[in-house]
Chains A and B, each alone.
Chain A
Amino acid sequence: MAGVFVAVLVLIARLVIVQGLMGANYEKIATIERVGKVRSQAPRGQIKGSDGTVLARNLESHSLELLPAKVKTDRVAAIVGRLRELLDMTDSEVQQLRAELVRDADPRKRQPLVVRRDLVSTHCPYDSSQLELTSEVEYRFCPVCGRNFEPIPARKACPFDQRKLQSVPGGDGMRCSSCEREFSSADLCPYDHHALHHGHHNLKCPLCQRTFNDEVAVLRANLHLLPEARLQSEIQREYPFRYLASHLLGYVGYVTDADRAPLLPWLPPRYALTDRVGRTGLERAFDQALRGIDGEQVVVRRSGTDESAKGMDDLIAGLQPRPIVAGLTLRLTLDLELQRVAKVAMKDVFSGAAVVIDARSGEVLALYSKPSFDPNTMSGKRAPHGKTGSDTAAYAPLLDKAIHAFPPASTFKIVAAIAALEENIVNPATTFHCPGYYDFGGRRFHCHSKRGHGDVNLREAIRSSCDVYFYHLGELLGLDRLESWARKLGYGELTGIEIHEAQGRLPTREWYAQHVKGGYYPGFALSTAVGQKDVTATPLQVARVYSALGRDGILPNVTLVQGFEGPDGKLLPRLPRPEGRDLPVKASTLRFIRNALLAVVNDEGGTAYSSQPTNVVLAGKTGTAQAAQRPRPDMIERLKADPLALGRLTTWMQNDHAWFVGYAPAEDPEITVAVFVEHGGSGGHNAAPIAVKIVESWFARHPHAKAMDAPAGKGRRKAANSEELDETPIADPESVPTVPPEDDPANRPAGEPREAPGGAADEVLP
C-alpha cells in the first residue's frame, strides 16, 4: 500500500511541476498551431553579358489557384461569378472553370486548379518593365481583414446592383448582401476598427504605356470572400532580351520524374517536385551552380495573440533553419552589342548562324542562331500561343545552328591545301588546269565556274575557290589522309564551349564501309576535299580553326564564360582553362594560307572581293554547299492551309548553303567571324556581307591601330558600307523588324532539331 501511495505521490509531484510550475509556459506553447520546416527555394543565379547586362534573371510571378477539394458544389456558382468579376474572365474561361469544378474529381487528388497565371502585379506582362502606379482610382482597404471599402452612397443602396445596404453590426459600415461589397465612410474598418489604408491599384507601363489593374492587389483584398482560392507566388525565370541570345542561354523547365530519380536507388530524390532545371544551353550546362542550395525555414503559426515568443525560443532553436545559398551569377564573354549586330545583320535571311570569337583567347563574342525563339515561353513565363499552319518549325528555331554541324563546303578546302603542302604533294607553284570540270572514276565533277579557271596555282585556287584544283588534291591525298589532317587542324573535335555542341563528322574509308550502302568509292575523297558529301563541321568549329590559321597555328579553346560573380559582383577566380594547342603545321605553310585567305577578300578575283570592311582588313574564305532539298512530307502536310508559306519554304530549300569565315585584322587577328546561312545562296554574296557588317561594327567600337593601314593596292573600298554601319546598333530587341519567323508573336518553337541537310550532292559548286 505504501508503495502505491509513493507511486501516486510521484505522479502528483510531476503534476505539480507540469501544471503548477511550468503551466504558464505550456499555456504559451499551446498557442502554437503548427510548426514546421518549409523548404525555401534558393534564387537561381543570373546570367550576365560581358558588360554586366542581365540576360537571365528571376521575376516573381503570381497565380491564382483553387483548391478543388475545398470547393463545395453549392459554392461553385458563387466562386465562378466572383472570379469572373475580379479577373475579367472570358466566357469560355468561365465555362471551362465551371466544368473543371463540377467534374467530380478524386477527392484524394489535391492538385490545385490554376485559374490564372502571371497575374499583373509589378511588371508589365508584355515587356517586363517595372510598372508605375497611377492615381486614377483610389480605394481603401483594411490591412487586418483585407476587406475593400467603397464610400457609402447617399441613397444607401449598392451602386452596383441597387440593393439596399445593410449596416454592419457593431460599426458604422454598410454591406451589400447581394454582391458582398463593403462600404464605409469612416476611415476605420467597421469590423476590427483598424485604420484603413488608402491605395490605388491602377498601374501603368512606362515603356509601352499600357495600363493594368493590379490583379494581385485586387485578389488579395477579396480573398477572404474566396476561402477556396489562394494566391501563389513563384519565382519565374525571365529572359529580358527574349530572342537575342536564346540558344546559348537555353531555358529552364519543371523537373520530370526522370530528373528526380536518384542516382542510386537509396538516395533521396534529386529535386523537389516544384523544382525547375536547366533544359538547354547555359541553363543546363551550369544548372548546379546556378541553382544554389535550397534553404529550410522554420515556420511557427500561433493561435491567439502573438504577445510573447519567449519560452518558445528553445523549441524553435531546436529546428535549425538552413540558410539559402543563392545560385551563382554567371558572367559571359558574350558582347551584347555584337550579338545585336549579328542579329540585325542576319535580318534578311531565314535561317543560319553567326559566330564571333576572340581569335586569341577563343572567347565567344557573339553566337547567334536564326530563327530564334523566346525562352520565356519555354520557361513558362509567357504562355506559348502558336497558330496552326505556321511554317516556323521548318526553320528549326530550337536548333542552335552555330554549334550544329553542316557541310563546310569550300571553307574546308584549306584542309586539303595544308595537307598537300605539308605532305609535299604540291608546292605553292604547282598548277593544275581547270577546264570547268574534272572526270574521275567515270563521272564528271564540276567546278563552280562553268568556263573553268584555266591554269591555276594553289593560291589562285584558294582565292577563286577552284574546285578542280582541289579535286586533284583530294585524289592525290586520299580520303584518310584528308581526315587525319582535318583532325589535326581541329575539325571533328569539340571546341570546348560549355554548351552542348555537335562534334561534326570526318568520314574515313572505314566510316563509308560501315555506314553507307555500297561502301567507299574513290570519288568521295574528291567531294570531301571541297567540303561536300558527308563531311560536316559547325560554324563555331570553323571559326576556331580559322582563328588558329590567322594566329600562328594556335588553336584556342572556345569558351562562353568569363566566370562566376561573387556576392560583391566581382569575378571569382575560375579554374584554369586548358591551353590552346599548336597545330602541327609548318610556319611557311601557315604564312602561305594566310596570304591566300587575304587574297580571297582583297584581291580582284577573290570570291569575297565585293565584301570588304571599311575600317579593317579582313581575310577569310567563302563556301557554298549544294544542299537543294524538298520540304519533308510532314511539313507539306502542316502547311497545306498556307500555300504561300509552303511556296516560300520550297523555294528556300532549293538554295545552297552559304558560308563565310574570316578573321580581322588580317595581319594580327583579333576576332574571327563565321557566318552560315542555311539555304542562303552563295557564300560570297550572301554570307560574306553579313560577316563584313559584324566586323565593321566591332572595329568601329574597338579601333585597331593598324586597322586603316591596309596593304596598298589590294583593297577597293566600298563607300556604301560605311552608311550601313550607322544603322547597326539597335536598342530594343523587340523593335527590330525582321523577316517572318523571327519576332513573330506566333513564333512558336516546335519540332525536333533537324538532321543536317546536304550530303546528297555529288557535284559541287564553289
Chain B
Amino acid sequence: MSDLARMRQPSTLIGLFCVLGLCAIAIENLHFADSMLGTTYHRSQTIWIVVGLIGAGVTARLDMQFVRRVSPFVYAVLVVLLFAVLFFGREINYSKRWLELGPANIQPSEFMKMSIALMLADWFDKKRSQTPWKLRQLLIPALLIGMPVALINREPDLGTSVCVALIALGVLLYDGVQRRTLVMALCVALIGVGLAWKFDIIRDYQKGRAETWWHAMQDDDKTPDTGQGGANRDNWQAEKALWAVGSGRVAGRGDDEARVSVLRHVPFVHTDFALACFAERWGLIGCIFLFGLYLGLVWWALHIADRAQERFDALLAIGVAGLVFWQFFINAGMVIGLLPVVGLTLPLLSYGGSSALTVLIGAGFLLNIALRRKAR
C-alpha cells in the first residue's frame, strides 16, 4: 500500500486534481457547445477521456524499461502513419491530419508529441555527457525531430509541427543548459516574437480590415470556400473569438446569452476556439481558474522532473511538461489575441481523441515516475 501513500503526496494530488478537473471542464464545455449546435461531440470525447484515464492508469504501472524498449517501434510506426496520412488521410478544412481506423479517426501527429519526448529522453539518457551538447552530436536527435516535424508540416499542420519541435527543443536544451535559464530565455523570446508579430498584425490588420470583413460576410453567406482565405480569414476568426472572450467580462455571462453570442461569433468552437466559448461563459475568474489548472499540471511535471532520480525520467517529465505547456500557451495566446492564429487545439479542453489520449498518457507517465520515485 506504499503506492497509495505516495499517491497522497501533495504534489501528486495537485497534479491529479488538475488533470481530472480539466477532464471535467472539457466535457462540460463541449456539452455546452453541443447543446448550441446540436452536435454530439461531448459523448465521444467522454469515451476518449475514459479510455485515456484507463490508459493513464495502465501507463502508471508500466515498467519503464519496457517502455524504453518499445518506444523506437512506436516512433517508427508513427512515422509510417504520418506518411500514410499524407496519402490516405482524411481531409478536413484543407488539411490532411486524420487516418480512418475503424470507428475512430486517429491523428498520428498528436501521438508523435509523446513519442518524440520518449525517444529523445531515451537517446539523451543513453548518450549522457557532462558537457553541453555539440552540434555534431545532435545529428541523430535532429533527424529524430526533423522527420516528423517535416511530415506534419506537410499535412499542413503548422501548429502541431511547431509544437512537436518546441517539445523536442525543451527536452534537448534541458539536458544541455541550466534549465532555469533555458525556460526563461525561451519564454521571453517567444513572448517577444509574439508581441512583435501581434503589433505587426495590428498594422496589417488595419490595412486589411475591409477585406477581412468582406471575407467574413462571404463566410456568413456560406459561399463555397475556395480555401484561399488565408491570413484575412484567420484574422477574422481571431477577431470574432476575441469578441466572445471580451464579452465574458469578469464574471462571465449567462449561458443563454453566451449561447447566442458564441454561436454567432466563434468559429471551430469545439476545437481550436474552445477556450473562447469557455471564456465567454465564465469570464476572467473562470479563465484564471482554468489557467491555474494548466499551470498546476505543468508545475507537477516540472516538479517531478526536478525530483526525478533518473535522467530518463526527468527528461520524459520535461517532455510532458512541454507538451502541455506549449500547446496551452500557443492556443490560449491565439484565442485571446496575443499570438497569430495557427491551427492548434487546447490540451484536453478541445475536442480531439488523439490529443486527449496523448495528454492523459503523458499524465500517466508522470504518475508512473511519481509513484516510483520514493521506492528507489
Q: Is the CB of A11 within 8 A of B245?
A: no
Q: Which 9 A-B pairs have the closest CB atoms?
A: A26-B246, A36-B217, A3-B183, A23-B249, A3-B187, A318-B209, A30-B243, A19-B284, A27-B247
CA distance A29 to B191 in the complex (A): 28
Q: Is the CB of B295 within 8 A of A19?
A: no
Residues 178-220 of chain B, each 1 if its beta carbon lies under 8 Å from chain A, else 0: 0010011011101100000000000000100110011011001
CA distance A23 to B250 in the complex (A): 8
Given contacts A23-B250, A29-B246, A30-B261, 19 further A-B contacts (CB under 8 A): A1-B299, A1-B303, A4-B302, A4-B325, A8-B329, A12-B287, A14-B333, A14-B337, A18-B336, A19-B248, A19-B287, A20-B250, A26-B242, A26-B247, A29-B243, A35-B217, A315-B209, A318-B206, A318-B209
Residues of A within 8 A of B188 (CB): 3, 6
Residues 297-330 of chain A, each 1 if its beta carbon lies under 8 Å from chain B, else 0: 0000001000000000001001110000000000
Query: B327 CB to closest chain A CB, in angstroms?
Result: 13
Which residue from chain B places its CB closest to the CB of A21 in the assembled complex? B246
Given contact pairs A12-B291, A35-B213, A35-B217, A18 touches B184 in the complex (Cβ within 8 A): no
> Does A25 sit within 8 A of B, measured CB to CB?
yes
Q: Is the CB of A19 within 8 A of B246?
A: yes
Q: Is the CB of A15 within 8 A of B247?
A: no
Q: Is the CB of B214 within 8 A of A18?
A: no
> Does B244 sit within 8 A of A, measured CB to CB?
yes
List the interface of chain B (C-beta within 8 A of A). Answer: 180, 183-184, 186-188, 190-191, 206, 209-210, 213-214, 216-217, 220, 242-250, 260-261, 264-265, 279, 283-284, 287-288, 291, 294-295, 298-299, 302-303, 321, 325, 329, 332-333, 336-338
Given contact pairs A36-B214, A36-B217, A318-B206, A24 touches B183 in the complex (Cβ within 8 A): no
| 8 Å CB contact of A2 from B180, B216, B244 | B180
Which residue from chain B places its CB closest to the CB of A37 in the assembled complex? B214
Q: Is the CB of A11 within 8 A of B213?
A: no
Residues of B within 8 A of A26 (CB): 242-243, 245-247
Which residue from chain B places its CB closest to the CB of A18 in the assembled complex? B246
Residues of A within 8 A of B336 (CB): 11, 14-15, 18
Residue among A19, A24, A318, A319 with the most chain B CB within 10 A? A19
Given contact pairs A2-B180, A34-B217, A11 touches B247 in the complex (Cβ within 8 A): no
Which residue from chain B places its CB closest to the CB of A1 in the assembled complex? B302
Residues 68-92 of chain A, each 1 if its beta carbon lies under 8 Å from chain B, else 0: 0000000000000000000000000
Q: Is the CB of A18 within 8 A of B242?
A: yes
CA distance A27 to B214 in the complex (A): 21
Q: Is the CB of B209 within 8 A of A3?
A: no
Residues of A within 8 A of B283 (CB): 19
Residues of B within 8 A of A8 (CB): 291, 294-295, 329
CA distance A4 to B318 in the complex (A): 12
Residue among B187, B206, B216, B250 with the most chain A CB within 10 A? B187
Residues of B within 8 A of A756 (CB): none
| 8 Å CB contact of A3 from B186, B216, B264 | B186
Query: A316 CB to closest chain B CB, in angstroms?
Result: 9
Q: Is the CB of B220 within 8 A of A34?
A: yes
* Chain A residue total in the interface (Cβ 8 A): 35
CA distance A16 to B264 in the complex (A): 23
Which residue from chain B places its CB closest to the CB of A108 in the assembled complex? B224
Which residue from chain B places its CB closest to the CB of A321 in the assembled complex? B210
Residues of A within 8 A of B180 (CB): 2-3
Residue among B242, B246, B333 with the most chain A CB within 10 A? B246
Residue among A20, A26, A318, A320 with the most chain B CB within 10 A? A26
Which residue from chain B places its CB closest to the CB of A32 in the assembled complex? B243
Query: B250 CB to closest chain A CB, in angstroms?
Result: 6
CA distance A270 to B288 in the complex (A): 54
| 8 Å CB contact of B338 from A2, A10, A315 | A10
Given contact pairs A1-B183, A3-B184, A11 touches B299 in the complex (Cβ within 8 A): no
CA distance A18 to B329 in the complex (A): 17
CA distance A18 to B241 in the complex (A): 11
Query: A405 CB to closest chain B CB, in angstroms?
Result: 51
CA distance A25 to B245 in the complex (A): 11
| 8 Å CB contact of B291 from A2, A11, A24 | A11
CA distance A11 to B334 in the complex (A): 10
Q: Is the CB of B246 within 8 A of A23?
A: yes
Residues of B within 8 A of A16 (CB): 284
Query: B319 CB to closest chain A CB, in angstroms?
Result: 14
| 8 Å CB contact of B298 from A4, A20, A303, A315 | A4
CA distance A16 to B187 in the complex (A): 20
CA distance A726 to B211 in the complex (A): 66
Given contact pairs A3-B184, A7-B329, A18-B242, A23 touches B248 in the complex (Cβ within 8 A): yes
> Does A22 sit within 8 A of B, measured CB to CB?
yes
Query: B164 CB to closest chain A CB, in angstroms?
Result: 19
Q: Is the CB of A34 within 8 A of B206?
A: no
Residues of A within 8 A of B288 (CB): 12, 15
Residues of A within 8 A of B291 (CB): 8, 11-12
> Does A266 sit within 8 A of B, measured CB to CB?
no
> Does A160 sit within 8 A of B, measured CB to CB?
no
CA distance A550 to B294 in the complex (A): 100
18 contacts between A and B (CB under 8 A): A3-B180, A3-B187, A4-B302, A7-B191, A8-B291, A11-B329, A11-B332, A11-B336, A11-B338, A15-B284, A19-B245, A20-B249, A22-B246, A26-B247, A30-B261, A35-B213, A36-B214, A37-B217
Query: A613 CB to closest chain B CB, in angstroms?
Result: 65
Query: B224 CB to closest chain A CB, in angstroms?
Result: 8
